[in-house]
Amino acid sequence: MKLPHLTRPAGARWLAACALLAALASPTAHALILGSCSATANSVAFGTYDLTSPTALQGTSTVTVTCTEVLGSTSVTVYLSTGSGTYTTRTMLSGANKLDYNLYTNAAQTTVWGNGTGSTTYDTLTIGSGVFLGTSSASGTVYGAVPALQNPAPGSYTDTITVTVNY
């Protein structure tokens, strides 16, 4: 009796097929990222700071993580750097002038978005939504606040935050 001949797909597709079979045979959900992940983020636009306002200036932004060749679903972690300041107080600069602010994972602004050290935390996003091999994205909201009653010099204040994705 002659057995049927099975051809093996090349490269990543073969690994994906093996992972799919393993995921289907196991009662636990599994995922595999065969490609890569990248992040894009929009600036937090705070607007114009009013020196006399008794309330913090608020802003939001979105961080989107896109992964290619995702099989199943998995979690990725998103870290934010300190920028020009520290996690306790991030700092926007206009030349040598400073304006304090911070970034948070929640709208109540009680949890500083950082890298998990000290009193900071990070965001966890779920990438993928099934057993199909493809590209998947997920987004998280960044909440920002500039504390009230600072006395910065007039100017345009900016800071640069590095987004790191761990998968």
pLDDT (tens digit, 9 = 90+) per residue, 116-157? Answer: 999 999 999 998 876 667 888 999 999 999 999 999 999 999
pLDDT higher than 60, residue 5: no
Where is pLDDT greater, at 44 or 10?
44
- Single out the residue of 90, 115, 88 nearest to residue 101, CA to CA: 90
Q: What is the pLDDT of residue 32?
A: 67
Contacts of 140 (CB under 8 A, 6+ apart): 62, 63, 65, 78, 105, 123, 125
H or E element in which residue 33 lies? strand 31-33
Q: What is the pLDDT of residue 69?
A: 83
Confidence class for position 26, pLDDT limits 50, 70, 90: very low
Whole-number mean pLDDT of the chain? 83
Q: What pTM did the predictor assign?
A: 0.79
CA of residue 128 relative to chain centroid, distance:
15
Where is pLDDT greater, at 63 or 10?
63
DSSP string, 70-132: EEEEEEEEEEE--TTS-SSSEEEEETTEEEEEEEESSTT--SBBSSSSTT-B-EEEEEEEEEE
pLDDT higher than 50, residue 8: no
Contacts of 11 (CB under 8 A, 6+ apart): none
- Provide the CATH topology of domain 11-166: Immunoglobulin-like (2.60.40)
